[in-house]
Amino acid sequence: MTQVSSKSTTGGVQSVERAFELLEVIARAGGEAALSELAADTPLPLPTIHRLLRTLVGVGYVRQLPNRRYSLGPRLIRLGEVANRQLGALASPALKDLVSKLGESANIAVLDGDMVTYIAQVQSAHSMRMITEVGRRAMLHNSGVGKAVLSVLDDERVQRLVSQAGMPPKTANTITTLGKLFTDVEATRERGYAIDEEEQELGVRCIAVPVPGAPTPMAISVSGPVTRVDEAFTKRAVPVLQEAARELGRQLVAAAD
Q: How far apart are CA 235 and CA 221, in angstroms?
A: 14
**Rounded to whole angstroms, how far apart are CA atoms 168 and 174?**
8
CA dist 71 and 60 (Å) reads 10
Backbone angles phi, psi at 177, to 5 degrees: -130, 145
What is the dihedral sign for C-alpha 232, 235, 241, 247? negative
How far is 35 from 71, CA to CA, in rounded Å? 11
Cβ count near 100 (within 10 Å): 11
Distance CA 100, CA 212 (A): 22
Residue 134: the pLDDT is 79
CA angle at 209 for the pair 204 and 213, rounded to the nearest 5°: 155
pLDDT digit of tens for each residue in the chain (257 aa)?
333 333 334 455 778 888 888 888 887 777 788 888 898 888 888 889 989 998 898 888 888 888 889 888 887 767 666 666 667 677 788 899 999 999 999 999 999 888 999 988 888 877 777 777 878 899 999 999 999 999 999 999 899 899 989 999 999 999 999 999 999 999 999 999 999 999 999 999 999 999 998 888 999 999 999 999 999 999 999 999 999 999 998 888 776 66
User: In this structure, which long-range contacts are made by residues 181-188, counting pairs with CB atoms below 8 Å and at least 24 apart in sequence?
Assistant: 181/141, 181/150, 182/155, 182/158, 184/147, 185/147, 185/150, 185/151, 185/158, 188/147, 188/148, 188/150, 188/151
Q: What is the pLDDT of residue 1?
A: 36
- Residue 61 corresponds to which amino acid? Y
Residues facing 221 on adjacent strands? 107, 208
d(CA 215, CA 257): 12
* 46 vs 231: CA distance, rounded Å: 54
For the purposes of burial, counting CB atoms within 10 Å of the CB of 87, is it exposed (0-12), middle (13-18) or buried (19 or more)? buried
Q: What is the pLDDT of residue 86?
A: 67
- Residue 9 has a pLDDT of 41
